[in-house]
Amino acid sequence: MKILIATDSFKDSLSAREVGLALKMGFLKGSPGHTIEILPLADGGEGTVDAIVDITRGKRISLQVMDPLMRGTEAFFGVTGDGRTAVIEMAAASGLEKLASSERNPWVTSTYGTGQLIAAAMNLGCRRILVGIGGSATNDCGAGMAEALGVKFLDGRGRPVGKGGGALGGVDRIDVTGLDPRVGETEFLVACDVTNRLTGPEGASAVYGPQKGADKQMVQQLDANLRHFAGKVREELGKEIEQVPGAGAAGGL
């Protein structure tokens, strides 16, 4: 008999490959003689990089980036075996796993480190990037990520605003003149399993803000800030992001 074992990872315990190997050993011990293949799976969260690197015989790259509180941390991304596609778990740089429970605060946490991972992938020549967006610690609508790639978010006096979801309400102008030109040459894919819109009662702040450390008052202000920011994106860049299904994932990343 031919048996296919296709599993996700066991969070904080075993990789998808390790789970598959354990099941394979159990099958063969109880009923030897079968042909068993292992196919690692992932849902865009933890284990996505390892699963895709494993199946494509690619490689995992480690590097130093900024964590959600702009401290240095070690993160990683994967490159497929053909060297053309990078696989990024945003949580590796900007996730809750990088913070102690007492440090969770979406008012100040940033996706800057995720932008650094994207830049590093482009430095290796990858022009197709898959970003898994589970487990984020942020609510900054990807502003930190964009900043790391050269975008400037300015207040009414032309000064850079701060980091995090709390700073979005102060954005008056978005300057994309310094955006890394390779971004326009790169295909971006997002691995996401939710359909929440950016704002409102089912939006990023209301649904996911509390697990990132936001109380009720902060949730309301974060939501207002996202509305303001979405308006600026619409006004400055001509892009509608507020009502796009899935836009509320990972704090609007």
Cα–Cα distance, 75 to 64 (Å, whole number): 6
Written as tens digits, the pLDDT of the chain (253 aa) is: 888 888 887 766 787 888 888 888 888 788 787 788 888 887 777 788 988 998 899 999 999 999 999 999 999 999 999 999 999 999 999 999 999 999 999 999 999 999 999 999 999 999 999 999 989 999 999 999 999 999 999 999 999 999 999 999 999 999 999 999 999 999 999 999 899 999 999 999 999 999 999 999 999 999 999 999 999 999 999 999 999 999 999 999 9
pTM > 0.75: yes
Domain 42-252 coded CATH 3.90.1510.10: yes
Chain region(s) in the chain for CATH 3.90.1510.10 = 42-252
Q: Which residue has the tokens 């102060």?
A: 170
**Three-state secondary structure string covering the chain:** CEEEEEECCECCCECHHHHHHHHHHHHHHHCCCCEEEEEECCCCCCCHHHHHHHHHCCEEEEEEEECCCCCEEEEEEEECCCCCEEEEECHHHHEHHHCCHHHCCCCCCCCHHHHHHHHHHHHCCCCEEEEECCCECCCCCCHHHHHHCCCEEECCCCCECCCCHHHHHHCCEEECCCCCHHHHHCEEEEECCCCCCCCCCCCHHHHHCHHHCCCHHHHHHHHHHHHHHHHHHHHHHCCCCCCCCCCCHHHHC
Please report, for residues 9, 63, 69, 150, 152, the alpha-carbon distance to residue 162 in angstroms, rounded to integers and kept in the order given: 36, 25, 12, 15, 11
Q: What pLDDT does residue 34 have?
A: 79
Residues 6+ apart with CB under 8 A from 62: 74, 75, 76
